[in-house]
Structure 1
């Protein structure tokens, strides 16, 4: 299924799960049952007097109910098709109210344009809903008149037949029974119609639950607390599901146990995909990944992920206390202040924490009261602290120092070598000052490994790595000699 279609299904499901419709169905069922009991009880009296009058009263609300059900279905169809536009509406709202996007929107003066896009969508929704409401008022009013006419006719007929039969004394009782049946029948049929409407919208929730879950193959083997041999990618291929786009094409390399391997390559070369395969977020389309000579799919997925300290380039900025930001690396130990502080020291975040008013209990971000916003580099150090909090035998860092200056970067990798001594590490980086500190370097291009070795050998080989290294070094030299 297309990703956009999945997001549309999520939007429809979220709208129903957060709108109280499930509770409405429950209460509506109780209301229908209550009215049914009342209706049956009173109908016995009225049927004993005149079955035709009873039937006329019972079915008088039917035209109105049919109208209600018809327009409920129309409204459902409109909302179903509107899911994509509603997601776009929420996206515009997020862009204009998020502190992450504020600077660019302000500097590029995008506010009026985004507001115009938002307003146009809202106006489209309003115009469509108004047209439907107008049609419902006209047709519903006409059919409602038929319902009133039918019930009024039945009442007049009841009065006429009662007078003719000389049973005027019973008329008050019969009219009261007619009124009770009218109210109960109308309430019950409208309740059934409301259940029909709710069932349409709840179908969106159940459709989402019914989406096939892409299950990764996992075994029962426990992941080792310390690797003995290492990790091997053997002729690994990956193609995005539902596409013919080849991201990885026969990738093979080894990460020896206790060593650090750096992945180098241009954006889009497939480096992050390798990380996602190793962490079992994706399943390879071909080839094998071995951990200590055991196929990775034989390990229990949850246990494997517990034994990996991972930080992605697009890490999450948890707008929560510092303790949680770091402690989420090992959530059950987040109240262990000593361990949290040790992770902060490892990532060079200790100074940041000490400068905050409530230290590890300081709320970060601007979403909540008394929150303190951090710079991009400071947030990245918090994310690195999470990875170190894990104390995992496998450490995977995807662009871990992109927002950190060169001096802090060197310090962090020195600490990484000390703290993660004995751990097996995979690092994706663009800065060669970081890359050259690795025990082994793998160069990836267009989904294939084209070079590997240590820094000095790769520079002497004068291949892609050497070209990228010289390109970056020349930039630093140019900056150094510029007046």
Structure 2
């Protein structure tokens, strides 16, 4: 029985995730697709429970009247059918409805609904542009995703479950009281007006505070993650006290929203207590007065007073449910600000997979602007850059920091779209092919190659999951990583390829991480290879040992290499010197030295093989 209800909703839909709408209710409908029918069924179940419970009070009043009007000796003969029907509703119908509603809530919705939201939101964010993740804390994004998924569930379920129960219960109670005497219904109407006024004044303010609190909680979590992620920097600069102060300011901002929330909650409780006392007193007083004047049967008093007491008990629950509802509404609104953002880089509607036949790369008069100067004019990172890299050619990019070398690589990978010009691979515009196929055709080793917090095997095979053990071993040898990987172990006792490397590979040295990254790219064996300071984290001995392996890795590939250590790229087929987003020199190492230009001066100013950072020539 449990498993049948648990399988009613697919928590991992295969549909392609779309950008969620920015409007609140549209956002809720977007993430409620696939569960709407079950939410409606939950509302019907809750409404039916409310009707049965109100009906019990009606049966109770009728029973009291019959007890007072019917002689004992004939009571059972005259009333057994009514009592049996009441017993059926109390013992069979009400528990059955509660069981069905509980299965819908706990087995079908509580687990599957938020998991479905998490899955769709995660997949959408996974395909966000690189710039999106550069502008936000990873911990903050994760926190908002998790909070929003739960909040969407709570808003939808409270509206359908609690909302249906409360509305039908109150309407039923009001109708039942009015059916006895209209004056008995008057306190219920006045109480409802006062209750609604209080909800309208206090609960929206609670919702606004809750939205601020959700944002403050995300920011606080982001600060914690930021401190722990960069713990080595904190330790190196002996700034634990400074981090504590920074963290406390974030916690204070969160605590301030908690204080405001608790003040509103206290005002709410005091007001509600006064309303509830007035309701019970008014209903009891009117009921007794009408009974003493003979205008009301004792059964009517037995109906009205318990109804008032029941609403008195329910009122606090309803208020907290509404407060929680608005708190979750605030959390959802906060989540919308992170989740409902368009992807800056999207595949063209008719995008086809990239087909690399040779590996020729062309930057055709590319201009790319990023940021603004003091006059609010866009800064050109690349300015009308024109460059052709032949299939199989090895090209080295040279230039000071800020010359545009890394930007050139990022545009080839289509991390950003370009406003002017185009970039092609074998004549195919990278803006018109699928991003996944584009990046699958390019192997990249960067200066800071972060690893996934998974096993060494998972990291090496990330670009080629079906690789055999022999292929993995070959990649390790090519990256000079076979000497240390067998000796690796982790806290769970896993060894070698099965050892986990820690978050971003922190359990490995910089040189070890770099060699794992090189092995990963070697195994991927893409036709286009990008080396962005690929050996900068290696010591001279290891770099010398791996240099010959890199030459093997580059065979038959189109290669673009960036290095401040000019000696590592001097043997490339062609060197391209960049300055302020333009190509200023091209040629082989010998040709550029003979030309006596920028490259020759940079080479002459090398100290220990590094590019002088203060050269402003």
TM-score by length of 1: 0.85
Change (3 A) 1:41 1:76: closer
Q: How many residues align?
A: 467
> Aligned-pair distance for 1:241?
7.1
1:304/1:107 Cα in 2 relative to 1: closer, same or farther (>3 Å)?
Answer: closer
Match of 1:201 in 2: 331
What's the counterpart of residue 451 of structure 1?
A: 585
- Residue number in structure 1 paired with 2:469: 337
Greater mean alpha carbon deviation, residues 12-21 or residues 273-282: 12-21
Q: Select the residue among 204, 223, 235 that pairs with 1:73.
A: 204
| Of 404-413 and 301-310, the range deviating more from structure 2 | 404-413
Mapped to 1, the partners of 2:137 and 2:201 lie a distance apart of: 24
1:114 has 2:243 as partner: yes
Match of 1:479 in 2: none
1:375-409 deviation per Cα after TM superposition (whole angstroms, max 9, x unaligned)? 11111111112211211111112111111123322
Indicate whether 1:249 and 2:386 are aligned: no
Q: Which moved more, 1:177-186 or 1:199-208?
A: 177-186
Aligned to 1:359: 496
Measure, in 1, the Cα distance between the counterparts of 2:145 and 2:454: 28
Deviations 1:100-142 (A, max 9, x none): x334322422101211222233234324532442354246414
What secondary structure, in the 3-state scheme, does the structure 1 residue paired with 2:600 have? helix
Q: Determine if contact 2:210/2:330 at 8 Å carries over to the other structure.
A: no
Given that 1:364 and 1:374 are in contact with CA atoms closer than 8 Å, whether structure 2 keeps it comes out as yes
1:159 aligns with 2:288: yes
The 5 A counterparts of 1:120-139 are: 120-138=249-267
Matched, 1:15 2:144: yes
Contact 1:36 1:184 in 2 (8 A): no
CA distance in 1, matches of 2:134, 2:606: 42
1:283 paired to 2:417: yes
User: 2:240 & 2:361 partners in 1: Cα distance?
Assistant: 49
Gaps of 5+ in 2: 1-130, 490-494, 611-617
Structure 1 distance, partners of 2:264, 2:502, is 48
Please say if residues 32 and 187 of structure 1, whose CA atoms lie closer than 8 Å, have aligned partners that are also in contact: no
Name the structure 1 match of 2:535. Answer: 401
CA shift for structure 1 position 323: 0.2
Alignment of 1:22-421 (within 5 A): 22-28=152-158, 29-60=160-191, 62-64=193-195, 66-68=197-199, 70-78=201-209, 80-81=211-212, 86=217, 89-98=220-229, 101-138=230-267, 140-142=269-271, 144-165=273-294, 167=296, 169-170=298-299, 171-183=301-313, 191=321, 194-218=324-348, 219-227=350-358, 230-240=360-370, 244-330=378-464, 332-333=465-466, 336-357=468-489, 358-365=495-502, 373-421=507-555
Cα contact 1:443–1:450 (8 A) shared by 2: yes
Alpha-carbon spacing, 1:395–1:59, altered in 2? closer, same or farther (3 Å): farther
Partner of 2:118: none
Sort the Cα spacing of 1:203 and 1:52 in 2 relative to 1 into closer, same or farther, 3 A: farther
Q: Assess, with a 3 A threshold, how the Cα gap between structure 1 residues 131 and 39 changes in structure 2: closer, same or farther.
A: closer
Report the aligned-residue RMSD: 3.3
Q: CA deviation at 1:249?
A: 0.7
SS in 1 for 2:382: strand
For residues 199 and 167 of structure 2, the distance between their equivalents in structure 1, rounded to whole angstroms, comes to 20
Task: Please give the alpha-carbon distance, in whole angstroms, between the structure 2 residues aligned to 1:190 and 1:221.
Answer: 53
Change (3 A) 1:220 1:113: closer
CA–CA distance in structure 2, aligned partners of residues 390 and 321 of structure 1:
17
Q: Take 2:460 and 2:336, find their aligned partners in 1: how far apart are those partners? A: 37
Shift of 1:59: 4.7
Secondary structure of residue in 2 paired with 1:123: helix
Query: CA offset at residue 435 of structure 1?
Result: 1.2
| Alignment counterpart, residue 573 of structure 2, candidates 439, 448, 460 | 439
Name the CA distance, whole Å, in 1 between partners of 2:470 and 2:143.
Answer: 40
For 1:466, the equivalent position in structure 2 comes to 600
* 8 Å contact from structure 1 (residues 42, 181) kept in 2: no
Q: Which has the higher contact order (CA 8 A, sep 6+)?
A: 1
Distance in 1 (alpha carbons) for counterparts of 2:449 and 2:182: 72
Q: Is the 8 A contact 1:10 1:208 kept in 2?
A: no
Task: Note the C-alpha offset of 1:270.
Answer: 1.3
Q: What stretches of structure 1 of length at least 5 have no aligned partner?
A: 477-483
Label 1:416 to 1:233 Cα distance change in 2 as closer, same or farther (>3 A).
same
CA distance in 1, matches of 2:575, 2:208: 55
SS in 2 for 1:472: coil
CA 1:136–1:270 in 2, change beyond 3 Å: closer, same or farther? same
User: Higher mean Cα deviation, 436-445 or 81-90?
Assistant: 81-90
| Alignment TM-score, normalising by the size of structure 2 | 0.68
Work out the CA distance in 1 between the residues paired with 2:195 and 2:594. 85
Distance 2:272 2:462 in 1: 60
Distance in 2, matches of 1:5 and 1:413, equals: 32
Secondary structure of 1:89's aligned partner: helix
